[in-house]
Protein backbone atom coordinates (compact mmCIF):
# COMPACT_ATOMS: atom_id res chain seq x y z
CA UNK A 1 0.00 0.00 0.00
CA UNK A 2 1.47 3.35 -1.05
CA UNK A 3 2.18 5.86 1.68
CA UNK A 4 1.18 9.52 1.34
CA UNK A 5 4.23 11.75 0.81
CA UNK A 6 5.37 13.60 3.90
CA UNK A 7 4.44 17.29 4.02
CA UNK A 8 6.62 19.87 2.31
CA UNK A 9 8.67 21.25 5.20
CA UNK A 10 9.18 24.96 4.46
CA UNK A 11 11.14 27.17 6.85
CA UNK A 12 10.59 30.93 6.64
CA UNK A 13 12.59 33.89 7.91
CA UNK A 14 9.93 35.57 10.05
CA UNK A 15 12.26 38.05 11.75
CA UNK A 16 10.24 41.07 10.59
CA UNK A 17 6.97 39.97 12.21
CA UNK A 18 6.86 42.55 15.01
CA UNK A 19 3.22 43.31 15.90
CA UNK A 20 2.57 47.02 16.25
CA UNK A 21 5.63 48.06 14.27
CA UNK A 22 5.29 46.36 10.90
CA UNK A 23 6.82 48.17 7.95
CA UNK A 24 6.95 47.09 4.28
CA UNK A 25 8.79 43.76 4.66
CA UNK A 26 6.82 42.95 7.80
CA UNK A 27 3.46 43.54 6.14
CA UNK A 28 4.56 41.53 3.10
CA UNK A 29 5.58 38.62 5.34
CA UNK A 30 2.46 38.84 7.49
CA UNK A 31 -0.14 39.00 4.72
CA UNK A 32 1.46 36.23 2.69
CA UNK A 33 1.98 33.90 5.65
CA UNK A 34 -1.69 34.34 6.62
CA UNK A 35 -2.50 32.70 3.29
CA UNK A 36 0.40 30.29 2.83
CA UNK A 37 0.48 28.57 6.22
CA UNK A 38 -2.80 26.73 5.57
CA UNK A 39 -1.60 25.22 2.28
CA UNK A 40 -2.52 21.51 2.24
CA UNK A 41 0.41 19.15 2.76
CA UNK A 42 2.74 22.01 3.74
CA UNK A 43 4.45 22.23 7.13
CA UNK A 44 5.55 25.83 7.66
CA UNK A 45 8.20 26.64 10.27
CA UNK A 46 8.70 30.29 11.27
CA UNK A 47 12.19 31.34 12.31
CA UNK A 48 12.21 34.41 14.59
CA UNK A 49 15.10 35.98 16.46
CA UNK A 50 13.09 36.72 19.61
CA UNK A 51 9.91 35.60 21.31
CA UNK A 52 7.05 37.72 20.02
CA UNK A 53 3.47 37.71 21.33
CA UNK A 54 0.65 37.83 18.80
CA UNK A 55 2.39 35.94 15.97
CA UNK A 56 -0.01 33.06 15.35
CA UNK A 57 -0.77 31.49 11.99
CA UNK A 58 -2.88 28.30 12.03
CA UNK A 59 -0.74 25.40 10.91
CA UNK A 60 2.59 27.20 11.41
CA UNK A 61 5.29 26.12 13.87
CA UNK A 62 7.17 29.05 15.47
CA UNK A 63 10.83 28.79 16.52
CA UNK A 64 13.01 31.28 18.38
CA UNK A 65 16.35 30.86 16.61
CA UNK A 66 19.57 32.22 18.06
CA UNK A 67 19.84 35.70 19.54
CA UNK A 68 18.03 38.92 18.59
CA UNK A 69 19.62 40.01 15.30
CA UNK A 70 19.27 43.77 14.98
CA UNK A 71 22.84 44.75 14.03
CA UNK A 72 24.98 43.75 11.02
CA UNK A 73 27.39 41.51 12.92
CA UNK A 74 24.45 39.82 14.67
CA UNK A 75 22.75 39.39 11.28
CA UNK A 76 25.85 37.52 10.13
CA UNK A 77 25.78 35.27 13.19
CA UNK A 78 22.05 34.63 12.77
CA UNK A 79 22.14 33.89 9.04
CA UNK A 80 25.42 31.97 8.95
CA UNK A 81 25.21 30.01 12.22
CA UNK A 82 21.79 30.02 13.87
CA UNK A 83 19.63 29.54 10.79
CA UNK A 84 21.64 26.69 9.20
CA UNK A 85 21.64 24.80 12.51
CA UNK A 86 17.87 25.26 12.88
CA UNK A 87 17.28 24.15 9.28
CA UNK A 88 19.24 20.96 9.94
CA UNK A 89 17.39 20.35 13.21
CA UNK A 90 13.90 20.49 11.65
CA UNK A 91 15.01 18.64 8.49
CA UNK A 92 13.75 21.44 6.24
CA UNK A 93 13.11 20.84 2.53
CA UNK A 94 13.43 24.52 1.65
CA UNK A 95 14.03 27.93 3.20
CA UNK A 96 12.39 31.21 2.11
CA UNK A 97 13.63 34.60 3.27
CA UNK A 98 11.20 37.48 2.56
CA UNK A 99 13.83 40.09 3.51
CA UNK A 100 16.48 39.40 0.86
CA UNK A 101 18.98 37.73 3.22
CA UNK A 102 19.89 34.04 2.93
CA UNK A 103 22.51 31.90 4.65
CA UNK A 104 25.39 31.27 2.30
CA UNK A 105 25.82 27.94 0.51
CA UNK A 106 29.11 27.65 2.39
CA UNK A 107 27.33 27.89 5.75
CA UNK A 108 24.73 25.35 4.66
CA UNK A 109 27.40 22.95 3.44
CA UNK A 110 29.04 23.17 6.85
CA UNK A 111 25.95 21.52 8.39
CA UNK A 112 25.38 19.06 5.56
CA UNK A 113 22.66 21.05 3.74
CA UNK A 114 24.50 21.95 0.55
CA UNK A 115 21.52 20.79 -1.56
CA UNK A 116 18.83 22.64 0.43
CA UNK A 117 16.48 24.57 -1.86
CA UNK A 118 16.45 28.33 -1.27
CA UNK A 119 13.97 31.09 -2.09
CA UNK A 120 14.43 34.80 -1.45
CA UNK A 121 12.38 37.95 -1.95
CA UNK A 122 14.36 41.09 -2.78
CA UNK A 123 12.01 44.07 -2.58
CA UNK A 124 14.36 46.71 -3.97
CA UNK A 125 17.99 47.74 -4.26
CA UNK A 126 17.82 51.06 -2.39
CA UNK A 127 21.06 50.17 -0.59
CA UNK A 128 22.76 50.07 -4.01
CA UNK A 129 21.22 53.18 -5.56
CA UNK A 130 20.55 55.33 -2.46
CA UNK A 131 23.41 54.35 -0.10
CA UNK A 132 23.69 57.81 1.44
CA UNK A 133 20.37 57.29 3.25
CA UNK A 134 21.45 54.13 5.09
CA UNK A 135 23.94 53.66 7.95
CA UNK A 136 27.25 52.59 6.33
CA UNK A 137 27.52 49.20 8.05
CA UNK A 138 23.91 48.34 7.21
CA UNK A 139 24.36 49.32 3.57
CA UNK A 140 27.62 47.39 3.26
CA UNK A 141 26.03 44.26 4.72
CA UNK A 142 23.02 44.43 2.42
CA UNK A 143 25.09 45.08 -0.70
CA UNK A 144 27.24 42.07 0.01
CA UNK A 145 24.63 39.59 1.26
CA UNK A 146 21.68 40.44 -1.02
CA UNK A 147 23.94 40.17 -4.07
CA UNK A 148 25.08 36.72 -2.98
CA UNK A 149 21.57 35.65 -1.94
CA UNK A 150 20.03 36.65 -5.27
CA UNK A 151 22.61 34.63 -7.19
CA UNK A 152 22.55 31.54 -4.94
CA UNK A 153 18.76 31.25 -4.60
CA UNK A 154 16.85 28.61 -6.52
CA UNK A 155 13.86 30.99 -6.60
CA UNK A 156 14.07 34.80 -6.72
CA UNK A 157 10.93 36.82 -6.02
CA UNK A 158 10.30 40.57 -6.10
CA UNK A 159 7.36 42.97 -5.87
CA UNK A 160 7.31 45.02 -9.09
CA UNK A 161 8.42 44.88 -12.70
CA UNK A 162 10.68 47.85 -11.98
CA UNK A 163 12.51 45.89 -9.27
CA UNK A 164 12.68 42.85 -11.54
CA UNK A 165 14.42 44.89 -14.24
CA UNK A 166 16.76 46.42 -11.67
CA UNK A 167 17.71 43.02 -10.19
CA UNK A 168 18.39 41.61 -13.65
CA UNK A 169 20.54 44.57 -14.70
CA UNK A 170 22.42 45.01 -11.41
CA UNK A 171 23.20 41.36 -10.70
CA UNK A 172 23.28 39.97 -14.25
CA UNK A 173 20.35 37.60 -13.61
CA UNK A 174 18.12 36.32 -16.40
CA UNK A 175 14.80 38.20 -16.02
CA UNK A 176 12.92 34.99 -16.82
CA UNK A 177 14.19 33.59 -13.52
CA UNK A 178 12.66 36.42 -11.44
CA UNK A 179 9.03 36.10 -10.31
CA UNK A 180 6.93 39.21 -9.56
CA UNK A 181 4.30 38.98 -6.81
CA UNK A 182 3.16 42.56 -6.06
CA UNK A 183 2.38 44.03 -2.68
CA UNK A 184 -1.11 45.18 -1.73
CA UNK A 185 -2.60 47.37 1.01
CA UNK A 186 -1.81 46.25 4.55
CA UNK A 187 -5.57 45.84 5.16
CA UNK A 188 -8.91 46.26 3.39
CA UNK A 189 -8.96 50.06 2.98
CA UNK A 190 -12.17 51.65 1.73
CA UNK A 191 -13.42 55.03 0.56
CA UNK A 192 -15.07 57.05 3.34
CA UNK A 193 -16.56 60.04 1.49
CA UNK A 194 -18.05 61.68 4.58
CA UNK A 195 -15.01 61.36 6.79
CA UNK A 196 -13.21 64.60 5.91
CA UNK A 197 -14.68 66.92 8.61
CA UNK A 198 -13.88 64.52 11.47
CA UNK A 199 -10.42 63.73 10.09
CA UNK A 200 -9.62 67.42 9.62
CA UNK A 201 -10.73 68.21 13.17
CA UNK A 202 -8.71 65.38 14.70
CA UNK A 203 -5.41 65.82 12.84
CA UNK A 204 -5.34 69.29 11.31
CA UNK A 205 -7.16 71.63 13.65
CA UNK A 206 -10.26 71.59 11.46
CA UNK A 207 -8.40 72.55 8.26
CA UNK A 208 -8.05 70.58 4.99
CA UNK A 209 -4.75 68.75 4.80
CA UNK A 210 -2.25 67.07 2.52
CA UNK A 211 -0.95 63.73 3.79
CA UNK A 212 2.30 61.76 3.75
CA UNK A 213 2.53 58.20 5.13
CA UNK A 214 5.75 56.20 5.44
CA UNK A 215 8.94 55.63 7.37
CA UNK A 216 11.04 58.77 7.64
CA UNK A 217 14.19 57.90 5.71
CA UNK A 218 16.18 60.12 3.33
CA UNK A 219 14.98 58.25 0.23
CA UNK A 220 11.35 58.98 1.15
CA UNK A 221 12.30 62.60 0.53
CA UNK A 222 9.97 64.14 3.10
CA UNK A 223 12.28 67.15 3.30
CA UNK A 224 11.41 68.20 -0.26
CA UNK A 225 7.71 67.86 0.53
CA UNK A 226 8.05 70.12 3.58
CA UNK A 227 9.98 72.72 1.57
CA UNK A 228 7.33 72.59 -1.14
CA UNK A 229 4.55 72.98 1.41
CA UNK A 230 6.27 75.95 3.06
CA UNK A 231 6.70 77.57 -0.39
CA UNK A 232 3.05 76.82 -1.17
CA UNK A 233 1.98 78.61 2.03
CA UNK A 234 4.11 81.64 1.09
CA UNK A 235 2.98 81.70 -2.53
CA UNK A 236 -0.72 81.27 -1.77
CA UNK A 237 -1.28 83.06 1.55
CA UNK A 238 -5.05 82.82 1.16
CA UNK A 239 -4.87 79.01 1.46
CA UNK A 240 -5.21 77.39 4.90
CA UNK A 241 -4.21 73.75 4.30
CA UNK A 242 -2.03 71.75 6.67
CA UNK A 243 0.52 69.04 5.96
CA UNK A 244 0.07 65.88 8.08
CA UNK A 245 3.08 63.54 8.26
CA UNK A 246 2.35 60.00 9.46
CA UNK A 247 5.23 57.69 10.40
CA UNK A 248 8.36 57.38 12.51
CA UNK A 249 12.09 57.73 11.77
CA UNK A 250 13.79 54.57 10.50
CA UNK A 251 17.29 55.94 9.86
CA UNK A 252 18.87 59.19 11.01
CA UNK A 253 18.05 62.08 8.65
CA UNK A 254 19.80 65.29 9.72
CA UNK A 255 18.14 67.35 6.98
CA UNK A 256 14.65 66.31 8.07
CA UNK A 257 15.47 66.85 11.73
CA UNK A 258 16.56 70.42 10.98
CA UNK A 259 13.36 71.10 9.03
CA UNK A 260 11.26 69.63 11.84
CA UNK A 261 12.65 72.22 14.25
CA UNK A 262 11.54 75.09 12.00
CA UNK A 263 8.49 73.68 10.19
CA UNK A 264 5.91 75.65 12.14
CA UNK A 265 2.37 74.76 13.32
CA UNK A 266 0.97 74.04 9.84
CA UNK A 267 3.14 70.91 9.58
CA UNK A 268 1.64 68.21 11.82
CA UNK A 269 3.80 65.29 12.98
CA UNK A 270 1.15 62.66 13.69
CA UNK A 271 3.32 59.66 14.58
CA UNK A 272 2.41 56.11 13.60
CA UNK A 273 -1.13 55.09 12.53
CA UNK A 274 -2.66 51.76 11.55
CA UNK A 275 -6.03 50.16 10.88
CA UNK A 276 -9.16 52.28 10.81
CA UNK A 277 -7.24 55.33 12.02
CA UNK A 278 -4.97 55.18 8.97
CA UNK A 279 -7.92 54.57 6.63
CA UNK A 280 -9.61 57.68 8.01
CA UNK A 281 -6.42 59.73 7.61
CA UNK A 282 -6.19 58.79 3.92
CA UNK A 283 -9.91 59.23 3.26
CA UNK A 284 -10.05 62.67 4.86
CA UNK A 285 -7.05 64.14 3.03
CA UNK A 286 -7.13 66.53 0.08
CA UNK A 287 -4.37 64.41 -1.45
CA UNK A 288 -1.72 61.89 -0.54
CA UNK A 289 1.75 63.24 -1.41
CA UNK A 290 4.53 60.69 -2.00
CA UNK A 291 7.79 62.33 -3.13
CA UNK A 292 9.95 59.20 -2.67
CA UNK A 293 13.10 58.94 -4.77
CA UNK A 294 13.23 55.15 -4.74
CA UNK A 295 10.83 52.29 -3.93
CA UNK A 296 10.44 48.61 -4.64
CA UNK A 297 6.68 49.03 -4.65
CA UNK A 298 5.30 51.85 -2.48
CA UNK A 299 2.42 50.29 -0.52
CA UNK A 300 1.01 53.67 0.66
CA UNK A 301 0.21 54.55 -2.98
CA UNK A 302 -2.27 51.69 -3.19
CA UNK A 303 -3.61 52.30 0.32
CA UNK A 304 -4.37 55.91 -0.57
CA UNK A 305 -6.07 54.96 -3.84
CA UNK A 306 -8.17 52.29 -2.11
CA UNK A 307 -9.23 54.90 0.47
CA UNK A 308 -10.51 57.30 -2.19
CA UNK A 309 -7.63 59.74 -1.72
CA UNK A 310 -6.18 61.51 -4.78
CA UNK A 311 -2.50 60.70 -5.25
CA UNK A 312 0.44 63.04 -5.94
CA UNK A 313 3.59 61.06 -6.62
CA UNK A 314 7.17 61.38 -7.71
CA UNK A 315 7.83 60.19 -11.24
CA UNK A 316 10.85 58.12 -10.13
CA UNK A 317 11.50 54.41 -9.69
CA UNK A 318 8.39 52.18 -9.66
CA UNK A 319 5.83 54.86 -8.81
CA UNK A 320 4.38 55.29 -12.34
CA UNK A 321 4.15 51.48 -12.64
CA UNK A 322 2.11 51.21 -9.44
CA UNK A 323 -0.14 54.28 -9.67
CA UNK A 324 -0.49 54.38 -13.47
CA UNK A 325 -2.89 57.06 -14.71
CA UNK A 326 -4.43 57.45 -11.26
CA UNK A 327 -1.76 59.88 -10.02
CA UNK A 328 -0.37 63.30 -10.86
CA UNK A 329 3.43 63.28 -10.99
CA UNK A 330 6.40 65.54 -10.26
CA UNK A 331 10.18 65.28 -10.24
CA UNK A 332 10.98 64.12 -6.69
CA UNK A 333 13.50 66.94 -6.14
CA UNK A 334 11.70 69.85 -7.82
CA UNK A 335 10.15 72.07 -5.15
CA UNK A 336 8.36 74.11 -7.82
CA UNK A 337 6.77 71.06 -9.39
CA UNK A 338 5.54 69.91 -5.98
CA UNK A 339 4.13 73.35 -5.20
CA UNK A 340 2.20 73.12 -8.45
CA UNK A 341 0.87 69.65 -7.57
CA UNK A 342 -0.25 70.80 -4.12
CA UNK A 343 -2.05 73.79 -5.61
CA UNK A 344 -3.78 71.65 -8.22
CA UNK A 345 -4.91 69.18 -5.57
CA UNK A 346 -6.31 72.02 -3.45
CA UNK A 347 -8.18 73.75 -6.29
CA UNK A 348 -9.17 71.13 -8.89
CA UNK A 349 -12.15 68.77 -8.80
CA UNK A 350 -10.90 65.60 -7.03
CA UNK A 351 -13.66 63.32 -8.35
CA UNK A 352 -11.85 62.06 -11.49
CA UNK A 353 -8.70 61.26 -9.51
CA UNK A 354 -10.65 59.49 -6.79
CA UNK A 355 -12.42 57.33 -9.39
CA UNK A 356 -9.18 56.47 -11.17
CA UNK A 357 -7.51 55.59 -7.89
CA UNK A 358 -10.31 53.32 -6.72
CA UNK A 359 -10.18 51.43 -10.01
CA UNK A 360 -6.39 51.19 -10.00
CA UNK A 361 -6.33 49.84 -6.43
CA UNK A 362 -8.32 46.77 -7.52
CA UNK A 363 -5.26 45.60 -9.51
CA UNK A 364 -3.45 44.70 -6.26
CA UNK A 365 -4.53 41.77 -4.08
CA UNK A 366 -2.76 39.71 -1.42
CA UNK A 367 -4.83 36.70 -2.45
CA UNK A 368 -3.52 36.86 -6.02
CA UNK A 369 0.04 37.54 -4.93
CA UNK A 370 -0.06 34.72 -2.35
CA UNK A 371 -1.12 32.30 -5.07
CA UNK A 372 1.86 33.34 -7.21
CA UNK A 373 4.20 32.84 -4.24
CA UNK A 374 2.56 29.53 -3.34
CA UNK A 375 3.01 28.14 -6.84
CA UNK A 376 6.59 29.41 -6.96
CA UNK A 377 7.58 27.89 -3.61
CA UNK A 378 5.86 24.64 -4.54
CA UNK A 379 8.52 24.18 -7.23
CA UNK A 380 10.99 23.61 -4.35
CA UNK A 381 8.92 20.73 -2.94
CA UNK A 382 10.82 17.44 -3.33
CA UNK A 383 7.52 15.51 -3.07
CA UNK A 384 5.03 17.53 -5.18
Same domain, residue pair 131 and 254: no
The reply to whether 3 falls in a domain is no
Same domain, residue pair 210 and 357: yes
pLDDT band for position 3 (50/70/90)?
Answer: low
The reply to whether 1 falls in a domain is no
Order of all β-strands in the sheet with 209-213: 267-271, 242-246, 209-213, 287-290, 311-314, 327-330
- Segment 5-15 mean pLDDT: 93
Same domain, residue pair 123 and 150: yes
- Segment 236-250 mean pLDDT: 92
String of b and e for 302-329 (b: at least 16 CB within 10 Å)?
bbbbbbbbbbbbbebbbbebbbeebbbb
Same domain, residue pair 371 and 308: no
- Which residue from 291, 302, 279, 287 is spatially nearest to 221, judged by alpha carbons? 291
Would you call 120 helix, strand, or coil by DSSP?
strand
The reply to whether 215 falls in a domain is yes
Same domain, residue pair 269 and 310: yes
Q: Which residues contact 89 (CB under 8 A, 6 or more apart)?
A: none
pLDDT, one tens digit per residue, over 13-42 is 999 887 766 677 888 999 999 999 999 999
Write down the pLDDT at residue 298.
Answer: 93
- Segment 132-136 mean pLDDT: 84
Same domain, residue pair 350 and 369: no
Determine contact, residues 311/341, Cβ cutoff 8 Å.
Answer: no
Same domain, residue pair 51 and 88: yes
Determine contact, residues 183/148, Cβ cutoff 8 Å.
Answer: no
- Which residue from 201, 213, 208 is spatially nearest to 278, judged by alpha carbons? 213
- In terms of average pLDDT, the best of 128-132, 249-253, 378-382 is 378-382
* Number of separate domains in the chain: 2
- Segment 74-90 mean pLDDT: 96
What does the mean pLDDT of the chain come to? Answer: 93
C-alpha dihedral sign at 341, 165, 128, 247 = positive
Helix (H) / strand (E) element for 86: namely: helix 83-90
What is the domain extent for residue 246?
196-361
Q: Does 254 have pLDDT greater than 80?
A: no
Residue 19 or residue 2, greater confidence: 19
The reply to whether 62 falls in a domain is yes
CATH number of the domain within which 200 lies: 3.40.50.2000
Q: Does 49 have pLDDT greater than 80?
A: yes
Q: Does 68 have pLDDT greater than 50?
A: yes
Same domain, residue pair 231 and 269: yes
Same domain, residue pair 256 and 325: yes
Determine contact, residues 373/157, Cβ cutoff 8 Å.
Answer: yes
Angle between helices 299-306 and 275-284 (to 10 degrees): 70
The reply to whether 191 falls in a domain is no
pLDDT band for position 1 (50/70/90)?
Answer: very low
Write down the pLDDT at residue 4.
Answer: 64
CA-to-CA separations, 184 to 56, 102, 217, 245, 368, in angstroms, rounded: 21, 24, 21, 21, 10
Q: Does 128 have pLDDT greater than 90?
A: yes
Same domain, residue pair 99 and 159: yes
Determine contact, residues 320/292, Cβ cutoff 8 Å.
Answer: no
CA angle 363, 365, 371 (to 5 degrees): 120
Query: What share of the chain in percent tops pLDDT 90?
Result: 79
Cα 120–chain centre separation: 15
String of b and e for 31-63 (b: at least 16 CB within 10 Å)?
bbbebbbebeebbbbbbbbeebeebebeebebe
The reply to whether 75 falls in a domain is yes
DSSP string, 323-382: HGGGEEEE-TT-HHHHHHHHHHHHHS--HHHHHHHHHHHTT--HHHHHHHHHHHHHTT-S
- Segment 267-275 mean pLDDT: 90
Q: Does 263 have pLDDT greater than 90?
A: no
Amino acid sequence: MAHAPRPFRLAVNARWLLPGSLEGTGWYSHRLLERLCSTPNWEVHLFMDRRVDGVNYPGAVPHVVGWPARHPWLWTLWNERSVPSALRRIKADAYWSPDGLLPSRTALKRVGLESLRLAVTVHDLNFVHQPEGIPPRVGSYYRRVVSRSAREADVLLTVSETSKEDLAATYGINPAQIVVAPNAPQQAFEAMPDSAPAAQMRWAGGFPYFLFVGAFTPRKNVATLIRAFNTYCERFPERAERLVLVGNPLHRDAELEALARTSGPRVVWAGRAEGGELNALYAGALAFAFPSRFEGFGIPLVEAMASGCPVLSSNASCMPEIAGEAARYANPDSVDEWVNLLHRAATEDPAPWIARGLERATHFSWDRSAEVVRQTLQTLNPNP
